[in-house]
A = this chain, B = another copy of it.
Amino acid sequence: MALPTETERAFHAHDHSHCLHEGLARAEELARARGLRLTPVRRRTLEILLREHRALGAYEVLEHLAADGFGRQPPVAYRALDFLVANGFAHRIQRLNAFTACAHPGEDHQAVFLICRECQSVAEAPLDGPRDAVEAASDALGFRLERVSIEALGLCPQCAQAA
């Protein structure tokens, strides 16, 4: 078997510090290239998300931020998260009212999120077929498509094993 892809790694033990440093480095670079301001709160927020392959609620993120000396009121977290989502550094997981770091920032991709309902871990699998199908359906109905979100609920390999 080949080396695990990034998506496969999400559901298995691996070197988190790699994800973290790699992810932050890519974000810094992208932000510079696009003239975005990756300020301390925003950077720290991304760091918090990267540290886990898991969806974190806004209030959970806020606790971390507050502990690190940033503001302790909801808008602090929501604003940083909104910035990250708007610029493709993170995604919102609708089903969980939660947020997760983007595995492929800057790549303009369509993805499906595989969400474990036991442990909240989230894997982001690139998947372009569905987007095309939805586009075709939209065109047929005169619907002006802007964004598609695909979320799959189930059990990750570990939790499936345990069950």
Q: Could you list which residues of chain A lie within 8 angstroms of chain B, going by C-beta atoms?
A: 7-8, 10-11, 94-95, 112, 114, 116-117, 123, 125, 127, 129-130, 133-134, 137-138, 140-157, 160
With A127-B133, A130-B129, A152-B148 as contacts: A142 and B112 at CB distance below 8 Å = no
Copies of this chain present = 2
B137 touches A157 (CB 8 A): no
List chain B residues, Cβ under 8 A from A150: 130, 134, 148-150
A145 touches B152 (CB 8 A): yes
| Cβ-closest chain B residue relative to A133 | B129
A11 touches B152 (CB 8 A): no
The listed residue (B112, B138, B155) touching A144 by CB distance below 8 A is B155
B144 touches A154 (CB 8 A): yes
| Cβ-closest chain B residue relative to A96 | B94
